[in-house]
Amino acid sequence: MNIGDQNLKLSQWISGEGPQQDIVLSNRIRLARNLEKTAFPGRAGREELSKISKKIRETKEVENKNNLKYIEVNNISPVERKILVEKNLTSPFHLQNHPEAGLLINEEENICIMINEEDHIRIQVLTAGFQLNSSWEKADKIDDNLEKDLDFAFSKKLGYLSACPTNLGTGLRASVMVHLPALNFTNNINQLLGAVSQLGLVVRGIYGEGSESAGNIYQISNQVTLGNSEQDIIDNLKDVTLQIIEEERNTRKRLLSERKNYVTDRIMRAYGILRYARKISGEEAMELISQVKMGIDMGVIDSLDTKMLSELMILIRPAHLQKRFAFEPGEQKEEIKRASLIRERMKQSS
């Protein structure tokens, strides 16, 4: 199977056009579901896994609605798999050669259902900006429709039963991807993130569990899934995120009024390097793009558009570069190609 043509196209939610997009890049709702009387993927045999996958793909929801396209993980190349992870459409775990693991993705790439990951089904809805409620409504509906044809493992006491007890109950993981350069710059970030964890939320890097933060982007999500309703979980995340947005905005304002020369110099230097560098690492590029994005959002730079920058944050990742410029992993070309792609996009946009 070739998903090549779709590979380098970026989904609408990645471009970052949505409410509060100066700080919230995107949001995601994920629901974990399992079929009853069936072993969880980690324990099921190949034949059983294949039956599970077929059952899910043959539901009316998948066959008739949403224009979902099926991608079987083992049928695509390693680069294409990594691209799916870089776009945050799936997890690295899902791609580790599990038999019968697959993804159902719609054309807009804002609905992505993982099959046979840790759980039989993981419904994901992704949206640009800060729109948790509409993402939840969409996911809730897909779940309702899938349930018309599938019997989910459910207990009155423990709710939806998941392979790992951390996902029990609602099976809901709601998350927002926030861009917090000013808070990081003023060293207030750790304090803030510490406070967040006391409110039942978890902070992670850009690629979820186990990943480091890059480009001042943090993923904030609910920690517990059992004992609160979906709406309560989402409201809590929303309330806390709103406060974080407020903090970040205030810090940006203070930076502009109290340390204007220093902060504008930093932003313009970052811009300069991105415009003219001939070779750049992913880490440095992310940091500089983050500063330039802040510069645009703060009105320091007005000749660029943020959509281009949000896209660059994905396009400069290793697998995306490999696919675009067709070189082998480990070749020295990555940093050179990254710099040239950034220069080209910056020039077009300015």
User: What does the alpha-carbon distance between residue 143 and residue 32 come to, in Å, rounded to a whole number?
Assistant: 10
Among 72, 99, 141, 154, binds other proteins (CB under 8 A): 154
Smallest distance from the beta carbon of 276 to other proteins, in angstroms?
Answer: 29
Q: Which is nearer to other proteins, 151 or 239 (CB)?
A: 151
Give the CA diameter of the chain.
65
Q: Does 17 bind other proteins (CB under 8 A)?
A: no
Q: Does 64 bind other proteins (CB under 8 A)?
A: no
Dihedral angle at the C-alpha atoms of 185, 188, 190, 193, nearest 10 degrees? -110
Nearest CA to 215 out of 286, 272, 149, 164 is that of 286
Tokens of 341: 């792609």
Q: Which is nearer to other proteins, 78 or 194 (CB)?
A: 194
Q: Does 38 bind other proteins (CB under 8 A)?
A: yes
Smallest distance from the beta carbon of 39 to other proteins, in angstroms?
Answer: 5
Among 22, 61, 143, 334, binds other proteins (CB under 8 A): 143
Among 13, 40, 185, 271, binds other proteins (CB under 8 A): 40
Question: In three state form, how does the secondary structure of 209-231 look?
Answer: CCCCCECCEEEEEECCCCCCCHH
List the x/- string, 99-118, binding to other proteins by CB under 8 A: -------------------x
- Containing H/E element for 144? helix 132-149
Window of 13-21, 77-85, 197-205, 330-338 that interacts with other proteins by CB under 8 A: 197-205
Nearest CA to 101 out of 56, 60, 153 is that of 56
User: What does the alpha-carbon distance between residue 180 and residue 287 come to, in Å, rounded to a whole number?
Assistant: 11
Contacting residues toward other proteins, per CB under 8 A: 34, 36-40, 42-43, 118, 140, 143-144, 147-148, 151-161, 163-166, 168-170, 172, 189-190, 193, 203-205, 209-213, 224-230, 232-233
